[in-house]
């Protein structure tokens, strides 16, 4: 019987599919360590986050459930937001802990937690600094409340206050100063601890992740390492500035590549690299803060040949790099063209452990384990639902993708509610097999297919699950009460 592998899950923040040089032949820089994972393991060419923005896609990774089934129907949380994961919702960290793993998280949480708020607290608009917070008191309902044995990181994105590290359920310091960033190094004005330096956060968190590896090398462990980069603030270390021959964003991608290299080196130095499943992916597509126009001048497109970017219902919003290395199971240089989703990690972990799932557990997750050793294995997914920033849904089934919005559903042209989008058809249908760039809307030529896919999507929403099993309830206001097309 195969021993349980260590699992290191590295989640980059806003890394585009085209930012991995092994996935993008035209990439003007080389991501040596990302490519090492591809060379020694498996590259997935049709992998997707459930959402085109970060909080919701992270929810799906941890719960194995589509994010739009949660209370959050669109947009993202901030650094002061309450917890999104309900107390009774099972998580993959709990599953792995039940399977004998030590479970640790380092990095960006961004799924809300109950901070020690004072009387009169009001969460600021647009993720601004919020008062009052007692930074000396415990935090509740954070990572250590949902299955992680330890946590070290930040509550939200690196451009969202509070700028204070959290260890387990405590802030590590009381903030004493206010800081603010600008340009590509943007972060919102907010209270900052004396030991919190934005330019040093990525490497500081990496040091903490390496500590977890060293301290747990003798027993099975799960490390969820959620990088705060290459999301804003775009702050590459000086040794990477100019290294990409593009702009600061390209340099920051190479900084992230170096972080992955440090993790891989630590696994090897501790003699556990051959017995560890390493997963590298991104929570969504690349942000416009990378400056696509500027990057194009250097011949680089973070979205590769996909349309759109972070926030969009288009492929560039949610198609993400997904690389896995597990020497005991995955053959080197493997390529999988199967349709897969980041929510599938939960069921895959259960399959590795030989565990069954409860009726209400990981309701939108399917195991990828059969694909890891056999690239010719039949598809494990019949369909996949995506969501954009504004909450618009789409259904991918085979070569076709039905998008239930007039425009991008996000920031790209034509953006949601824009005048340009108003005169467009109410739905979009693309054949990705012959139109991967989503340039020709063929909904008018395939009314029967549109009707069938709309009906299937409505069923997936109403059933509360996309896997077999009894019907489950969605959280909050029922999605179909706010989306008219479900009853058309």
CATH number at residue 100: 3.40.720.10
Pairing of strands 428-431, 131-133: unpaired
Q: How far apart are CA 395 and CA 339, in angstroms?
A: 12
Domain range enclosing 457: 384-487
Asked if omega into 2 is within 30° of 0 (cis), the reply is: no
Instruction: Please indicate, yes or no, whether residues 351 and 283 belong to a single structural domain of this protein.
Output: yes
Residue 289 forms part of a structural domain: yes
Taking a C-beta distance cutoff of 8 angstroms, is the pair 50, 341 a contact?
A: yes
Instruction: Please indicate, yes or no, whether residues 13 and 107 belong to a single structural domain of this protein.
Output: yes
Among 323, 348, 372, give the residue marking a domain's end.
372
Residue 99 forms part of a structural domain: yes
Residue 167 forms part of a structural domain: yes
Residue 61 forms part of a structural domain: yes
Residue 378 forms part of a structural domain: no
Q: How far apart are CA 478 and CA 95, in angstroms?
A: 28
Tell me, what CATH number does 430's domain have?
3.30.1120.10
Run of H or E residues at 189: strand 187-192
Query: How confident is the model at residue 2, as a pLDDT?
Result: 59
Each residue of 128-181: pLDDT tens digit?
999 999 999 999 999 999 999 999 999 999 999 999 999 999 999 999 999 999
Instruction: Please indicate, yes or no, whether residues 363 and 393 belong to a single structural domain of this protein.
Output: no
Q: What's the chain's length in residues?
A: 488
Q: How far apart are CA 436 and CA 399, in angstroms?
A: 10
Q: How far apart are CA 215 and CA 4, in angstroms?
A: 18
Instruction: Please indicate, yes or no, whether residues 360 and 232 belong to a single structural domain of this protein.
Output: yes
**Beta bridge mates, 66:** none
Query: How confident is the model at residue 341, as a pLDDT?
Result: 98
| Overall number of domains in the chain | 2
Instruction: Please indicate, yes or no, whether residues 291 and 409 belong to a single structural domain of this protein.
Output: no
N- to C-terminal Cα separation, the chain:
52
Burial letters 206-218, b for 16+ CB under 10 A, else e: bebbbebbeebbe
Residue 1 forms part of a structural domain: no
Q: How far apart are CA 44 and CA 376, in angstroms?
A: 13
Query: How confident is the model at residue 5, as a pLDDT?
Result: 98
Among 372, 399, 432, give the residue marking a domain's end.
372
Instruction: Please indicate, yes or no, whether residues 354 and 394 belong to a single structural domain of this protein.
Output: no
3-state secondary structure 350-419: HHHHCCCCCCCCCCCCCCCHHHHCCCCCCCCCCCEEEECCCCCEEEEECCEEEECCCCCCCCCCCCCCCH
Instruction: Please indicate, yes or no, whether residues 354 and 397 belong to a single structural domain of this protein.
Output: no
Which pLDDT tens digits describe the chain residue by residue (488 residues)? Answer: 458 999 999 999 999 999 999 999 999 999 999 999 999 999 999 999 999 999 999 999 999 999 999 999 999 999 999 999 999 999 999 999 999 999 999 999 999 999 999 999 999 999 999 999 999 999 999 999 999 999 999 999 999 999 999 999 999 999 999 999 999 999 999 999 999 999 999 999 999 999 999 999 999 999 999 999 999 999 999 999 999 999 999 999 999 999 999 999 999 999 999 999 999 999 999 999 999 999 999 999 999 999 999 999 999 999 999 999 999 999 999 999 999 999 999 999 999 999 999 999 999 999 999 999 999 999 999 999 999 999 999 999 999 999 999 999 999 999 978 888 888 999 999 999 999 999 999 999 999 999 999 999 999 999 999 999 999 999 987 665 555 556 55
Query: How confident is the model at residue 476, as a pLDDT?
Result: 85
Q: How far apart are CA 152 and CA 170, in angstroms?
A: 10
Query: How confident is the model at residue 477, as a pLDDT?
Result: 72
The residues near 48 (Cβ < 8 Å, ≥ 6 apart) are 318, 319, 320, 339, 340, 341, 342, 384, 386, 396
Residue 444 forms part of a structural domain: yes
Instruction: Please indicate, yes or no, whether residues 471 and 359 belong to a single structural domain of this protein.
Output: no
Instruction: Please indicate, yes or no, whether residues 408 and 336 belong to a single structural domain of this protein.
Output: no
Instruction: Please indicate, yes or no, whether residues 264 and 237 belong to a single structural domain of this protein.
Output: yes
Query: How confident is the model at residue 1, as a pLDDT?
Result: 43
Among 372, 407, 433, give the residue marking a domain's end.
372
Query: How confident is the model at residue 3, as a pLDDT?
Result: 80
Run of H or E residues at 429: strand 428-431
Each residue of 309-344: pLDDT tens digit?
999 999 999 999 999 999 999 999 999 999 999 999
Q: How far apart are CA 448 and CA 454, in angstroms?
A: 10
Instruction: Please indicate, yes or no, whether residues 300 and 409 belong to a single structural domain of this protein.
Output: no
Q: How far apart are CA 295 and CA 253, in angstroms?
A: 13
Residue 468 forms part of a structural domain: yes
- Rounded to 5 degrees, φ, ψ at 206 are -60, -40
Instruction: Please indicate, yes or no, whether residues 365 and 388 belong to a single structural domain of this protein.
Output: no
């Amino acid at each position: 019987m195969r021993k349980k592998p260590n699992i290191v899950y590295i989640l980059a923040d806003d890394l585009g599919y085209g930012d991995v040089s092994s996935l993008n032949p035209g990439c003007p820089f080389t991501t040596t360590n990302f490519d090492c994972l591809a060379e020694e393991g498996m590259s997935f060419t049709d992998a997707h986050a459930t959402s085109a923005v970060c909080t919701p896609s992270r929810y799906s990774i941890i719960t194995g459930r589509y994010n739009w089934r949660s209370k959050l129907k669109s947009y993202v949380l901030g650094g002061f937001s309450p917890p999104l994961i309900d107390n009774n919702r099972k998580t993959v960290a709990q599953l792995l802990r039940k399977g004998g793993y030590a479970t640790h998280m380092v990095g960006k949480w961004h799924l809300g937690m109950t901070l020690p708020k004072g009387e009169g607290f009001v969460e600021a608009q647009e993720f601004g600094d919020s008062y009052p917070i007692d930074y000396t008191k415990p935090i509740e309902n954070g990572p250590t409340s949902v299955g992680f044995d330890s946590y070290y990181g930040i509550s939200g994105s690196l451009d969202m206050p509070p700028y204070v590290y959290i260890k387990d359920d405590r802030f590590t310091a009381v903030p004493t100063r206010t800081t603010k960033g600008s340009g590509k190094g943007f972060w919102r004005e907010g209270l900052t601890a004396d030991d919190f330096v934005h330019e040093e956060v990525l490497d500081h968190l990496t040091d903490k992740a390496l500590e977890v590896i060293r301290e747990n090398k003798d027993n099975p462990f799960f490390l969820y390492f959620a990088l705060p980069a290459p999301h804003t603030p775009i702050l590459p270390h000086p040794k990477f500035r100019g290294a990409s021959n593009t702009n600061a964003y390209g340099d920051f991608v190479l900084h992230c590549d170096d972080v992955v290299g440090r993790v891989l080196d630590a696994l090897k130095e501790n003699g556990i690299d051959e017995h560890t499943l390493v997963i590298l992916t991104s929570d969504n597509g690349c942000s416009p803060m990378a400056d696509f126009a500027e990057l194009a001048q250097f011949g680089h497109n973070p979205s590769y040949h996909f349309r759109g970017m972070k926030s969009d219902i288009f492929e560039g919003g949610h198609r993400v790099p997904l690389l896995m290395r597990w020497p005991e199971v995955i053959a080197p240089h493997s390529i999988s063209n199967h349709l897969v989703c980041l929510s599938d990690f939960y069921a895959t972990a259960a399959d590795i452990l030989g565990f069954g799932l409860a009726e209400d557990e990981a309701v939108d997750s399917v195991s990828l384990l059969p694909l890891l050793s056999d690239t010719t294995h039949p598809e494990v997914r019949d369909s996949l639902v995506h969501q954009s920033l504004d909450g618009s849904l789409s259904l991918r089934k085979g070569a076709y993708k039905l998008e239930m919005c007039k425009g991008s559903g996000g920031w790209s042209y034509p953006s949601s509610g824009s005048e340009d989008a108003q005169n467009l058809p109410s739905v979009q249908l693309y054949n990705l097999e012959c139109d991967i760039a989503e340039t020709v809307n063929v909904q008018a030529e395939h009314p029967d297919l549109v009707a069938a896919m709309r009906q299937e999507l409505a069923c997936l929403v109403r059933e509360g699950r996309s896997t077999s099993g009894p019907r489950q309830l969605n959280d909050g206001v029922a999605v179909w009460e706010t989306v008219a097309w479900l009853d058309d």
